[in-house]
Amino acid sequence: MCDLDLPVDAADICIDGRYTSYLAQADDIVIFSTSFSALQRKVDRLAHWCSVNFMAINVVKTLAMIFGPLLSVTPVLRVFGSPIAWTSKYTYIGVSLCSTTRYIFQPHYSMKALQARDCANVAFTVDSMTGLVPPWEGTRLYMARVDPHLIHGCDVILDIDAGSLTDLELLQCKYIRRLLGVSTRCSRVFLFTETGLVPLNYRRVLLSLGFLAYALAQPPERLVHLP
């Protein structure tokens, strides 16, 4: 895919003077544009590139989304004459998006909350075989199995919607309370002073700021690396 070249278009997304027309992770490609006609031209260019390189676009797995006000008449995108279906939800390289919710990343928070809860429940199933999990070991299990889900994508997905973050914060506190054997009336401060864990909202902000500092330190010609 290294020789794929979609020409720059005036309708491309422009950030700090740099136009970006697509993203690619292996063979998973997302193309975006602010104009339907420009988007169709890019799809045609991609289809032509695939045909030259003995590749094919899987139309069944290809979907299109509209961000912003919906059109009264939805246009039809085509790949070699085959229409591309429209959707309001999609997961791209682990990040779930929804174009019809107030916050487009809200489904990502919900999905990660469910996955973190499942990992937390599994972590405590060892109680039946080993007895109560000591706080030190339970904290290490948390950092290894639960925390990765709670912070997934926070480097670039900023917490601008407090409601979406609430489920993740509650799950963190619930895990620590169960680990320490305290009730829901226990002060939140106690949970973190006794375990040394960082409250999730602060941890996510620190990771976001750390990535921002790293990105700003890179020269203009270098692409940043997502952790």
Length, in residues, of the chain: 227
Residues 6+ positions from 74 with CB-CB distance below 8 Å: 66, 86
Q: Treating both helix axes as pointing N-terminal to C-terminal, what angle do 188-195 and 162-180 enclose, rounded to 10 degrees?
A: 60
Average pLDDT over residues 41-57: 90
pLDDT reported for residue 72:
80
With beta carbons less than 8 A apart as the criterion, state whether 61 and 54 touch.
no
Confidence of residue 39 (pLDDT cuts 50, 70, 90): very high
Q: What is the pLDDT of residues 62-72, one digit of tens each?
A: 999 998 888 78
Q: What is the pLDDT of residues 4-29, one digit of tens each?
A: 888 888 888 888 788 888 888 888 89
Asked if the model's pLDDT at residue 225 lies above 80, the reply is no
The structural domains of the chain, with segments of one domain joined by +, span 13-87, 106-217
pLDDT reported for residue 83:
94
Q: What is the pLDDT of residues 127-181, one digit of tens each?
A: 777 778 889 999 999 999 999 999 999 999 999 998 899 999 999 999 999 999 9
Residues 6+ positions from 19 with CB-CB distance below 8 Å: 8, 9, 12, 13
- Specify which residues 78 forms β-bridges with: 83
Residues 6+ positions from 89 with CB-CB distance below 8 Å: 96, 97, 98, 99, 107
Residues 6+ positions from 136 with CB-CB distance below 8 Å: none
Average pLDDT over residues 45-60: 89
pLDDT reported for residue 224:
82
Asked if the model's pLDDT at residue 208 lies above 70, the reply is yes
pLDDT reported for residue 98:
94
pLDDT reported for residue 16:
78
pLDDT reported for residue 173:
96
- What is the share, in percent, of the chain residues with pLDDT greater than 70? 99
Average pLDDT over residues 30-54: 91
